[in-house]
Chain A
Amino acid sequence: MIKTAETSPIQADKITIAYGDFVLLKDLDFKVNKHDVFIIMGGSGCGKSSLLRVLTGLQNPSGGEVFINGTNFTKAEETAKNDIMKKCGILYQSGALFSSMTLAENIALPLQQYTDYSPSLISELVSFKLALVGLAGFEEFYPSEISGGMKKRAGLARALALDPEIVYFDEPSAGLDPISSKLLDDLIIDLNRSLGTTIVVVTHELSSIFAIGTNSIFLDGETKSIIAGGNPNDLLRNPPNETVRRFLTRGEK
């Protein structure tokens, strides 16, 4: 297996994403540091979600490689890929809970699949993870019986089931009211601080970007590349170009 010298949790090396002849993003190079809350931002259609699919192994890049903890994730064999994915949790936009299972069954699934814990320990872990996301007592509920915000939190509890080193969030604020959105942001910060989890968030929600982001990249649909990077609050203070400034100031002229 190919190893790089540095072992950052995530390193993208000349990633190109294309659909047929249409190139969406070209030669992206970036690195996510340990304990970062790393924001991938940019306008609609710039390829944020496609990049997330590449980082999480759901899609292969047309060019370039992704390294997770120094291991070439893009070129890894299926089993090695699965081993890496066990250390990553993903919160999808809609929560992506299995609708035929209760919340407890949803969260227990990865634990039953990948650990040899006893059923009683799994059940305690499930209750603990639900309590962590503020859903204590909701074990026997089905996803259809809870609200959108609660589905997201339950999705997060499932993403955290195996104590992942990296957690990816796809548009965590989408479809949430400001209070639920703030609670989710707080939860992201809390998890990052208490567990030291590296967090990657795809979003264009400005309040979240400034509240939680410690590092970021800005994708530009026109140049198909990264046009800015760093702490979002620093980028707001010293925007490197007009596109970033307008984005971070909600289109102010």
Chain B
Amino acid sequence: MTIAYKADRQHMEITLSGDYLSFSDEEIRQKLFADLKNKRPATIVLNGQELGQWDSTLAVVLFEVIKFAQKHSLHIDLSGLPENLRHFLDLAFAVDRKPEATKLSRLPFLEAIGSKTLDIYHSSRKGSAFIKQVLISILKGLSGKAVMRRIDFYFAMEDASYKAIAIVSLVSFMVGLILAFVGAIQLKTFGAQIYVSSLVAIAMTRIMGAIMVGIIMAGRTGASYAATIGSMQVNEEIDALKTMGISATDFLVLPRITSLLLTIPFLTILADAMGIIGGGAVGVFMLGISPHEYWTYTWNALSLDNFLVGIFHGFVYGFVIAVCGCYYGIYCGRNADSVGLATTKAVVSAIVWMIVLTGIITFLLEVVGL
């Protein structure tokens, strides 16, 4: 299975004989095209009277030869090829089907920076408009004017409440345990291991409980919001809502955001309690503190201020998670890939915003002396 050819500057004759199935002889292909380039014969004749079976691997060689001939205005004679092969090659050159479009090239460096800056500006405007819309929806919901199915709200409540209890409990218990371990290593050197209980109680109630719930809910519930709403976008269900005159924010975002805002304080309280129990396990079983003593120190360390600060953080995180999940779901693209991208963006941006807002809230509370 080879391509035989004779070539000089005037004439090249390519003869095909036998079968050409899965023809992948790189050597002869390279030699043929090197000779074509070097000699540039005025006429190329393709001879295929003895050609047997063939497939695209032969057709592609001839396709490249014809393209070369066309590019350099060489005369090419295809009449020696079998009719079906000629017809097949004609198909590849059928101009009527060729679209007039070219891929946009990459932007120059400065333009790319400018374009990225504009993108950030537009997306921040889009984001703030979305938050405004959500707040309006919440007000509409409170006044009973929002179009929202009660069943959607119950489903969202279910998803953000008892279904999350197991994972929140487990993770918070472990965090309490780790905090106690880490604290004990230092406090032991001063003989002050009893204060492990205070450390865990303050840390869990003021911030750690809320943060753990926030991270868990961002990965679990926020991602699910983005994926569900994103799939609806791919499926044109959101367009259908809009054309029916129903606000997608009322119908899809409101039940999710309200359910998360309602359940997250309770999950934060649960996380606080489980963290304290986790710390207690280390205190009692590893540091030899009596349960009564541990509880007394914990109780003394607990303060309403810290507890309320933790709950407030939980509220903020709930809002951030629901907004990010729903925002990226609603502004998801129209293909399968974009749902994955929307989910990733929802989780990453929720966590980033949670950390940024924690910094701001901590600073403000410091200023007001809480």
A residues contacting B by CB (< 8 A) are 99-100, 115-118, 120-121, 124-125, 128-129, 131-138, 140-141, 143-144, 150, 153, 160, 163, 183, 187, 190-191, 193-196
Query: In the assembled complex, how far is the CB of residue A11 from the closest CB belonging to chain B, in whole angstroms?
Result: 24
Q: Determine whether the beta carbon of A118 is less than 8 Å from that of B84.
A: no
Additional pairs, 14, CB under 8 Å, beyond known A99-B336, A132-B88:
A115-B24, A116-B24, A117-B22, A121-B57, A125-B57, A125-B60, A128-B92, A137-B98, A138-B103, A163-B56, A191-B91, A194-B85, A194-B91, A196-B84
Q: Determine whether the beta carbon of B101 is less than 8 Å from that of A138.
A: yes
Q: Determine whether the beta carbon of B97 is less than 8 Å from that of A183.
A: yes
Q: Determine whether the beta carbon of B63 is less than 8 Å from that of A121.
A: no
The 8 nearest A-B residue pairs measured at CB: A134-B97, A194-B88, A131-B92, A99-B335, A194-B87, A163-B55, A99-B337, A128-B60
Q: With A140-B103, A144-B334 in contact, do A124 and B91 touch (Cβ < 8 Å)?
A: no
Q: Determine whether the beta carbon of A128 is less than 8 Å from that of B63.
A: yes
Give the chain A neighbours of B92 by CB distance below 8 A. Answer: 128, 131-132, 136
Query: In the assembled complex, how far is the CB of residue B80 from the closest CB belonging to chain A, in whole angstroms?
Result: 17
Query: In the assembled complex, how far is the CB of residue B157 from the closest CB belonging to chain A, in whole angstroms?
Result: 34
Give the chain A neighbours of B85 by CB distance below 8 A. Answer: 194
What CA separation (Å) do A143 and B247 show in the bound complex?
30
What CA separation (Å) do A103 and B336 show in the bound complex?
16
Q: Determine whether the beta carbon of A117 is less than 8 Å from that of B24.
A: yes
Interface of B is mostly: helix
B111 at the interface (CB under 8 A from A): no
Give the chain A neighbours of B99 by CB distance below 8 A. Answer: 134-135, 137-138, 150
Q: Determine whether the beta carbon of B103 is less than 8 Å from that of A141.
A: yes
Q: Determine whether the beta carbon of B336 is less than 8 Å from that of A131.
A: no
Give the chain A neighbours of B102 by CB distance below 8 A. Answer: 137
Q: Determine whether the beta carbon of B56 is less than 8 Å from that of A193.
A: no
Question: What 1/0 flags go to B93-128 for Cβ under 8 Å of A?
Answer: 110111101110000000000000000000000000
What CA separation (Å) do A131 and B92 show in the bound complex?
5
B239 at the interface (CB under 8 A from A): no
18 contacts between A and B (CB under 8 A): A99-B335, A115-B22, A125-B57, A125-B60, A128-B56, A129-B56, A133-B97, A134-B96, A134-B99, A143-B335, A150-B99, A160-B56, A163-B55, A183-B97, A187-B91, A190-B87, A194-B91, A195-B84
B174 at the interface (CB under 8 A from A): no
What CA separation (Å) do A138 and B98 show in the bound complex?
10
What CA separation (Å) do A160 and B92 show in the bound complex?
13
Query: In the assembled complex, how far is the CB of residue B58 from the closest CB belonging to chain A, in whole angstroms?
Result: 10
What CA separation (Å) do A118 and B101 show in the bound complex?
29
Measured CB to CB, the nearest residue on chain A to B62 is A128
Measured CB to CB, the nearest residue on chain B to A102 is B103
Inter-chain contact total with CB atoms closer than 8 Å: 84
Query: In the assembled complex, how far is the CB of residue B214 from the closest CB belonging to chain A, in whole angstroms?
Result: 30
Query: In the assembled complex, how far is the CB of residue A142 from the closest CB belonging to chain B, in whole angstroms?
Result: 9
Query: In the assembled complex, how far is the CB of residue A93 from the closest CB belonging to chain B, in whole angstroms?
Result: 15
B59 at the interface (CB under 8 A from A): yes
B293 at the interface (CB under 8 A from A): no
What CA separation (Å) do A133 and B91 show in the bound complex?
8
Q: Determine whether the beta carbon of A131 is less than 8 Å from that of B56.
A: no
Query: In the assembled complex, how far is the CB of residue B104 from the closest CB belonging to chain A, in whole angstroms?
Result: 9
Give the chain A neighbours of B183 by CB distance below 8 A. Answer: none
What CA separation (Å) do A3 and B363 show in the bound complex?
79
B236 at the interface (CB under 8 A from A): no
Interface centre among A117, A132, A153 (most CB of B within 10 A): A132
Give the chain B neighbours of A133 by CB distance below 8 A. Answer: 97
Give the chain B neighbours of A163 by CB distance below 8 A. Answer: 55-56
Give the chain A neighbours of B158 by CB distance below 8 A. Answer: none
What CA separation (Å) do A128 and B59 show in the bound complex?
8
B333 at the interface (CB under 8 A from A): yes
Q: Determine whether the beta carbon of B93 is less than 8 Å from that of A131.
A: yes
Query: In the assembled complex, how far is the CB of residue B99 from the closest CB belonging to chain A, in whole angstroms?
Result: 7
Query: In the assembled complex, how far is the CB of residue B305 from the closest CB belonging to chain A, in whole angstroms?
Result: 50
Measured CB to CB, the nearest residue on chain A to B56 is A163
Give the chain B neighbours of A121 by CB distance below 8 A. Answer: 24, 26, 29, 57, 60
Give the chain A neighbours of B8 by CB distance below 8 A. Answer: none
Q: Determine whether the beta carbon of A144 is less than 8 Å from that of B98.
A: no
Give the chain B neighbours of A120 by CB distance below 8 A. Answer: 26
Give the chain A neighbours of B29 by CB distance below 8 A. Answer: 121
Measured CB to CB, the nearest residue on chain B to A115 is B22
Q: With A128-B56, A137-B102 in contact, do A193 and B84 touch (Cβ < 8 Å)?
A: yes
What CA separation (Å) do A128 and B334 show in the bound complex?
29
B50 at the interface (CB under 8 A from A): no
Q: Determine whether the beta carbon of B60 is less than 8 Å from that of A100.
A: no
What CA separation (Å) do A117 and B26 show in the bound complex?
9
Measured CB to CB, the nearest residue on chain A to B24 is A117
Query: In the assembled complex, how far is the CB of residue B232 from the closest CB belonging to chain A, in whole angstroms?
Result: 17
Measured CB to CB, the nearest residue on chain B to A145 is B103
Q: Determine whether the beta carbon of A134 is less than 8 Å from that of B94.
A: yes
What CA separation (Å) do A144 and B26 show in the bound complex?
35
What CA separation (Å) do A100 and B24 show in the bound complex?
29
Give the chain B neighbours of A187 by CB distance below 8 A. Answer: 91, 97
Q: Determine whether the beta carbon of A118 is less than 8 Å from that of B24.
A: yes
Q: Determine whether the beta carbon of B337 is less than 8 Å from that of A124.
A: no
